[in-house]
Amino acid sequence: MPDDTARTPRTDDRRLGMDCPIERRDFLNGVLLGAGTLAAGAMATGATGSSRAFAAALTGNGLDPYPPRRTGMRGAHPGAFENAHALRDGTLSLSGAVDQGEIYDLVIVGGGLSGLSAAHFYHKAMGAGQKVLVLDNHDDFGGHAKRNEFVVNGKTIVCNGGTLNIESPGRYNPWARSVLEDIGLDLARFRTANSANRHLYADFGLAGAYAFDRETFGKATGGKDMVVRLPKEHFWGFNPDVIDKAPISAAAKAALHRLTSDRPPDYLEGLSVVQKKDWLARHSFREFLIEKAGIGEEGYWFFQLMGCGTFCVGADATPALFGWVQGYPGFAGLGLGEIPDGLFADLPGGQHGRQKEGDGDVHFPDGNATVARALIAKLVPGATDARSQEDLGLARFDYDVLDRPDNPTRIRLSSIVVHVEHIGNPAGAEEVAVRYMNGGKLRQVRGKAVILASWNMMIPYVMPELPAAQKEALAYGVKGPLVYTSVALTNWRAFHKLGISRFDCPTMFHHEVGLTEAVSLGGLAHAANPDEPIVAHLVHYCTKPGLPRRDQHRAARADLLATSFETFERETRAQMQRLLGPGGFDARRDIAAITVNRWPHGYAYTYNSLYDPVEWVYSETPTRPCVVGRQPFGLVSIANSDAAASPHTDAAMLEAHRAVQEVIERKTYPFSPRRTA
């Protein structure tokens, strides 16, 4: 991530459309303007009736009051995290909390997929009459499973603002599968309904492409950008034609041809198979490619983002062994044997085998926001008329209904929890006080049980009464930052003319630029031809190559939080103009809206044998920090994807089920050993 000075000269702003009247005009550095203290206060409010006040403030500023349709800086949006930073820095007062007079059977901190699944599991096990409150810091539910919704030329189009898909559902644990079944998601029916869409882009002649930017390759390209289109869609895109056309030296091309051939050399010749696997586990993929395969920096350009999509770091901080498991080229000559089916895929905290193709990943039009919406429809039926998965495509949710007192489950948004403490000795307490900031005020509710389905790294600050060893374990994992930018387009004629559906751009601002996956859900129909509106999905991986992995996450997060929406917009417009301009694209004319989904604390930290003990990566040892950190304490249990050290949706659901079982055990057997840590 660069500093907050755009690479694109400001003299180009008007040509790029930076002055066009799209909704982000009411934001400066991601902060709402024009509504003053009213919007600042309303944005932090989640109690019944407050959403109408916020809606009025937003509407007065030209913004849609419906959370999925808010543009500008989303993800960790303004108002969602500042109190957490104040708590971390010791500047937030925790005195004078206003008790709301509310006592719940269960209070869940975090309204992401783990928290919502915990509410579902709890009601399913405990039956009617139970009262549950879910508190979340964002102004929308779903956590990282966020929906970006736009209306362009009268048509609703959507994109995932976070969690991308149900990855390898055949490997889902039984509890995660039960959630999908209980909320009415039929993956087989969805696949069948989208069988024709699956080949839409290919039918239009579109394929992937590599973008060689002029800043990196200018000497070889005459100071111009160069795009090399793949002959057809396939996973890695390596074939003789692409390598030969790349603006790199003959030596680099020869090394890449050797690496990607069906019979590459044994780059670890002289080592036994066991020694080879050990070497690959303890050395980065970059080291393997540069030091052993000898492809040089030019050849490495193609591989530098390996690992980013799962671990939020590139090949310099990802074990080479993961490259073998994920199907990267260069390993066929090592004699390692066949990759055992499911290697790492079923191991909580590993799951590095999930990226193997052929297991039928399912991507809803808005990603796993459909899962969150289905959970809300189940937990708060009055919030929507949607009952089938097809209904969810165009369903509009009534956010005023989410926090009504008569709901068995109340969802209270814009309510960031800052303190959790037992009322009395944790070993014998009957209630837990949960304090949260809402509407600029510190408020308090009480729970007979609490599940923390938030981020591990925040729990030591929120719950200082935890044992020191547990707090240390919770703080170990550093979540990986990343950015998904959704760009609503009036058409995709330029993509069609160029014959390209996605650009890989390892050394440009956004590393991936492409059309959303062609899928429909009920009345939410994907664009059938290039003249229809569509959303482009752009990805920026926040890395700091050369630093250890956790240090990369910390440094990149600081840069991300310091980067304004204006910079994101300028760079987004400029990059799309550079890539698509030869196809007739006009950023000023063709861009309808931009939503930047900023996730400073994105993917859960997974263990990495370059920096963590090998047994943490390749076994389920109880010494892993995620296991030590997730132990129950008093009336409090912990559920989230961090607790599994895995970024996958089914891991979040698995941990939700475990936490709920702990709560039920305590309720059923008051003297259970789970009563204390």
Cα three-residue angle 251-252-258, rounded to 5 degrees: 90
Q: pLDDT tens, 201-246?
A: 999 999 999 999 999 999 999 999 999 998 865 445 567 788 999 9
Mean pLDDT of 449-457: 96
Position 446 in a domain = yes
Mean pLDDT of 311-330: 93
How far is the C-alpha of 383 from the C-alpha of 397, rounded, in Å?
5
Tell me how crowded residue 5 is: count the other CB atoms within 10 A of its CB: 9
Residue 449 identity (one-letter amino acid)? A
Residue 444 DSSP SS3:
strand
With cut-offs at 50, 70 and 90, classify the pLDDT of residue 673: low
What's residue 38's pLDDT?
Answer: 33
Could you tell me if 347 and 244 lie in one domain?
A: yes
Could you tell me if 316 and 254 lie in one domain?
A: yes
Residue 440 has pLDDT above 80, yes or no: yes
With cut-offs at 50, 70 and 90, classify the pLDDT of residue 295: very high
Residue 671 has pLDDT above 90, yes or no: no
Residue 439 has pLDDT above 60, yes or no: yes
Residue 470 has pLDDT above 60, yes or no: yes
How far is the C-alpha of 92 from the C-alpha of 121, rounded, in Å?
34
Could you tell me if 302 and 406 lie in one domain?
A: no
Q: pLDDT tens, 66-77?
A: 999 999 999 999
With cut-offs at 50, 70 and 90, classify the pLDDT of residue 63: low
Residue 31 has pLDDT above 60, yes or no: no
Could you tell me if 411 and 339 lie in one domain?
A: no
How far is the C-alpha of 591 from the C-alpha of 69, rounded, in Å?
16
Could you tell me if 347 and 409 lie in one domain?
A: no
Could you tell me if 336 and 250 lie in one domain?
A: yes
Which positions ≥6 away from 193 have C-beta within 8 Å? 520
How far is the C-alpha of 24 from the C-alpha of 19, rounded, in Å?
10
What's residue 60's pLDDT?
Answer: 39
Q: Which range is least confidently modeled, 17-31, 205-219, 224-238, 599-613? A: 17-31
**Domain end among 355, 386, 415:** 355
The fraction of the chain above a pLDDT of 90, given in percent, is 79
Could you tell me if 316 and 417 lie in one domain?
A: no
Q: pLDDT tens, 347-370?
A: 554 444 454 455 578 999 999 999
Position 416 in a domain = yes
**Domain end among 323, 355, 387:** 355
Mean pLDDT of 649-668: 95
Residue 35 has pLDDT above 80, yes or no: no
With cut-offs at 50, 70 and 90, classify the pLDDT of residue 168: confident
End-to-end CA distance of the chain: 41
How far is the C-alpha of 456 from the C-alpha of 460, rounded, in Å?
8
Residue 200 has pLDDT above 60, yes or no: yes
Position 120 in a domain = yes
Across the chain, what does the average pLDDT equal? 89
Alpha-helical segments (H) within 351-466: 369-379, 389-392, 459-462
Could you tell me if 432 and 336 lie in one domain?
A: no
Q: Which range is least confidently modeled, 19-23, 442-446, 495-499? A: 19-23
Find out whether 571 and 6 touch, Cβ atoms under 8 Å.
yes
What's residue 526's pLDDT?
Answer: 98
What's residue 308's pLDDT?
Answer: 93
Residue 385 phi/psi, 5° resolution? -85, -10
HSE of 104, CA atoms in CB hemisphere, 13 A = 31
Position 438 in a domain = yes
* Tokens representing residue 56 in the block: 């009025």
What's residue 441's pLDDT?
Answer: 97
Find out whether 223 and 202 touch, Cβ atoms under 8 Å.
no
Reading phi first (left if > 0) and then psi (alpha if -120 to 50, else beta), residue 30 is in: left
Buried b (16+ CB within 10 A) or exposed e, 559-592: bbeebbbbbbbbbbbbbbbbbbeeeebebeebbb
Could you tell me if 445 and 348 lie in one domain?
A: no
Q: How far is CA 633 from the centre of its chain?
A: 29
Position 411 in a domain = yes
**Domain end among 288, 322, 355:** 355
Could you tell me if 348 and 442 lie in one domain?
A: no
Residue predicted with more confidence, 61 or 514: 514
Domain of 418? 99-141+402-477+620-675
Pairing of strands 591-603, 72-75: parallel
Residue 390 DSSP SS3:
helix
Position 396 in a domain = no
Which candidate, 542, 547, 609, 660, places its Cα nearest to that of 349?
Answer: 609
What's residue 7's pLDDT?
Answer: 62
Residue 47 has pLDDT above 90, yes or no: no
Residue 444 has pLDDT above 60, yes or no: yes
What's residue 620's pLDDT?
Answer: 82
Position 506 in a domain = no
Could you tell me if 429 and 343 lie in one domain?
A: no
Alpha-helical segments (H) within 439-548: 459-462, 468-474, 493-498
How far is the C-alpha of 396 from the C-alpha of 411, rounded, in Å?
16
How many separate domains does the chain show? 2
How far is the C-alpha of 225 from the C-alpha of 222, rounded, in Å?
9
Position 569 in a domain = no
DSSP assignments along 248-316, one per residue: S-HHHHHHHHHHHSSS---TTTTS-HHHHHHHHHHSBHHHIIIIIS--HHHHHTTTTTTTHHHHSS-GG
Domain with 647 in it: what CATH number? 3.50.50.60
Could you tell me if 348 and 412 lie in one domain?
A: no
What's residue 241's pLDDT?
Answer: 83
